[in-house]
Structure 1
Amino acid sequence: MFKKIFGLTMLLVLIGIVIGNFIDHRNESKINETEDSDTYLYDVTGDTNVKGGAIAPAESVGIKQGDLAPDFELETLSGDRLKLSELRGKKVILNFWATWCPPCREEMPGMQQYYEENQDEVVVVAVNLTDKDTSEQAVHNFIDEFGFTYPIPLDRDGDIAKEYGVIVVPTTYFIGTDGVVQQPRVAGPLEYDYMTEMVDGLN
């Protein structure tokens, strides 16, 4: 009798462990839904303290290779106005980022080096997701601290990121002199050599 009770208890414990592991696995892989049912949080950093790589509409698919890059005009961190269509004739690295994103921080020194060495032919445009960032002052503080000098347009309303279908940050588009996205978009941090390879493939 005791053996039967002991065996039944052990079986129930094992079933409980299996169910618990299954629930934990589902919770880890599930995307956290926000109060807006059309919007989701994506954690792409691997840092559990980060609330997500970015926020974007669930139906968003993004701009694809071969598409004309949607034009926009935004105020930059320095107070100037930047209009994408006015950069026609130059190759453009269009990057979307936020201060709280570790992969963004990882790639930015390489972007600065690339900008310094190639700014006569290539424009680096790093659009800050200001509506999803900690604060606009945090963006100022971050740029001042690290001395990045390429243009930083402020997407205060999130409209540009939404139009481009930015789901994770960093996301980068490589735009040719004709204003067309000529390479596949990249979600994740870029290295200097990869930027060189992608830009070399633009015309």
Structure 2
Amino acid sequence: MKKNILGLLIVSLLLVFVAVNLLTGNEAAPASSLEIQQAESKVEEETVKVNTEVNAEIPYAKDFTLSNLQGEEVSLSDYKGQIVILNFWATWCPPCKEEMPHMQSFYEKQDDIEIVAVNLTSMDVGLEKVKQFVDDYGLTFPVLLDEEDIVGQQYGIITIPTTYIIDQEGRVFQEIVGAVDEQMLEEMINALKSYDE
């Protein structure tokens, strides 16, 4: 008997809730495609603003040494004193393919910023494919080979591409999971430079 009364009470409350919403006109109108685009744009702008905020206690990037495509050893610490964009990627990754032209274009316009692209070679489809990718995209920034997934694990890379913005002192200013474009890179570098002033 108590269960029946409780059930009736819950159904009654739901009916009252529905009736109140209908009477007050709280039905949501479907959003137009323009409204959806504006909302997406606003979210994107707010995301960039949030991403450029700086934590007072910035961690230092973990140093590593890997070989480049020419077989030379390169360490992250070799770039101390420069702003570094550290990017983790693979040739089979669609967002990586999407962002590489942006990375190259951004790199060509900079004198004081280095891009270091760490190919997760142990998860990729072979060294020849990596070389072909670099040639196809005309990449001129350093491409390092993480053949044993040591650096990928060191940085806890789960999703690619993942990009770190590292300041002149070697501190991680920003981490971005997912593809970046040239405008995002410019905004983050400008935020870093204004923070350092």
The reply to whether TM is greater than 0.5 is yes
Q: Aligned runs of 1:33-182 on 2, under 5 Å? A: 66-118=58-110, 120-182=111-173
Aligned to 2:180: 190
Q: Aligned runs of 1:8-23 on 2, under 5 Å? A: none
Q: Write out the 4+ residue segments of structure 1 that deviate beyond 3 Å after TM superposition.
A: none
Give the gaps of 5 or more residues in structure 1: 1-63
* Contact 2:120 2:146 (C-alpha < 8 Å) held by counterparts: yes
**RMSD, aligned CA:** 1.4
Give the gaps of 5 or more residues in structure 2: 1-54
Amino acid at match of 2:168: T
Q: Taking structure 2 as the reference length, what is the TM-score of the superposition?
A: 0.68
Residue 160 of structure 2 aligns to a residue whose secondary structure is coil
Question: What is the deviation of 1:144?
Answer: 1.4
Question: What is the deviation of 1:78?
Answer: 2.6
Q: Taking structure 1 as the reference length, what is the TM-score of the superposition?
A: 0.66
Question: What is the deviation of 1:201?
Answer: 2.0
Query: Any idea what the Cα deviations from partners look like across 1:72-97, whole Å, max 9, x if unmatched?
Result: 11111132221111211100000000
Question: What is the deviation of 1:200?
Answer: 1.5
Amino acid at match of 1:82: V
Query: Any idea what the Cα deviations from partners look like across 1:151-191, whole Å, max 9, x if unmatched?
Result: 000000001010101110000000000000012x1110001
Q: Tell me the matched-pair count.
A: 138
In the aligned structure 2, how far is the partner of 1:146 from the partner of 1:174?
Answer: 22
* Contact 2:100 2:137 (C-alpha < 8 Å) held by counterparts: no
Question: What is the deviation of 1:145?
Answer: 1.9
Amino acid at match of 1:83: S
Q: Percent identity?
A: 44
Which protein has the bigger helix share?
A: 2
